[in-house]
Amino acid sequence: ETGVTQSPTHLIKTRGQQVTLRCSSQSGHNTVSWYQQALGQGPQFIFQYYREEENGRGNFPPRFSGLQFPNYSSELNVNALELDDSALYLCASSFGTRDTLAGYTFGSGTRLTVV
Amino acid sequence: QKEVEQDPGPLSVPEGAIVSLNCTYSNSAFQYFMWYRQYSRKGPELLMYTYSSGNKEDGRFTAQVDKSSKYISLFIRDSQPSDSATYLCATNSGYSTLTFGKGTMLLVSP
């Protein structure tokens, strides 16, 4: 299977709840990065996983956490949801952690709405 | 000051026009420069990338980087209604974490 797939496509949660978003990497890719894209903004880097270890983190609180599995699929977990967490969450896969450039493939994202 | 600045638009042009999209960046460590296109309700799709000052052409698209002034441009020739999308500039310093601009919404009318 080629391409990056994310699930679910849309999600509505209540403030204070927890959510898990899933990402299946492109075949052959061993690195996954998660981004948050608020309405009208560019994507912001949340964190990256390489070989099941966190390999870098952006300016997001610890209630944003992740996992990468041996098959390189990944999860993003957000605890204690806040209204400002409403955004499009994007997963991107690549091979390695340097010079990825053209090998950086985004999924279509999960649209999370917190009410 | 944001690391990558980009005018959000929207930018409206008639079909066939030449479009110029621009970004500025502040971090001299940025080495790689990319342009992504994002259609509504979709993830970003890589259009072009470059790592040096100068021009790079691909069909109707030309990416231009001026590292001395920290200025990035994307030119679209003979614009089509199908080019209507949000265009995101992005940079990185050699590692696979990207810093994006806000994106510019482009509307090409028939």
pLDDT in tens, A21-65: 999 988 888 889 999 999 999 999 999 998 889 988 999 999 999
Shortest Cα–Cα distance, A108 to chain B (Å): 4
Pairing status of strand A64-68 against strand B19-25 = unpaired
Residue B60 sits at the chain A interface (C-beta within 8 Å): no
pLDDT value, residue B71 = 94
Percent residues over pLDDT 90 in chain B: 73
C-alpha angle with apex B13: B9 to B15, nearest 5 degrees?
145
Q: Which residue carries 């200025």 as its tokens?
A: B71
pLDDT value, residue A103 = 63
Residue B76 sits at the chain A interface (C-beta within 8 Å): no
Residue A113 sits at the chain B interface (C-beta within 8 Å): no
Residue B97 to residue A106, Cβ atoms within 8 A:
no
Q: DSSP state, B68? A: T
pLDDT value, residue A115 = 97
- Within 8 A of B72 by CB-CB distance, chain A residues are none
- Using CA coordinates, name the residue in chain B closest to A56: B97
Pairing status of strand B104-109 against strand B11-14 = parallel
Q: With cut-offs at 50, 70 and 90, classify the pLDDT of residue B13.
A: very high
Cβ-nearest to A101 among B32, B43, B102: B32
Q: With cut-offs at 50, 70 and 90, classify the pLDDT of residue B95.
A: low
Range list of β-strands (E), B15-103: 19-25, 32-38, 45-50, 54-58, 61-66, 71-76, 85-92, 99-100
Instruction: Work out the number of other CB atoms within 10 angstroms of the CB of residue B59.
Output: 9
Three-state secondary structure call for residue A81: coil
Query: Is residue B6 scored above 90 in pLDDT?
Result: yes
Residue B102 sits at the chain A interface (C-beta within 8 Å): yes
- Within 8 A of A107 by CB-CB distance, chain B residues are 43
pLDDT value, residue B94 = 62
Residue A17 sits at the chain B interface (C-beta within 8 Å): no
Contact A81, A16 (CB under 8 A): yes
| Structure confidence by residue, pLDDT tens digits, A54-107 | 988 999 999 999 999 998 899 999 999 999 999 999 999 887 766 556 668 899
Contact A74, A68 (CB under 8 A): yes
Cβ-nearest to A106 among B43, B94, B99: B43
More confident residue, B49 or A17: A17
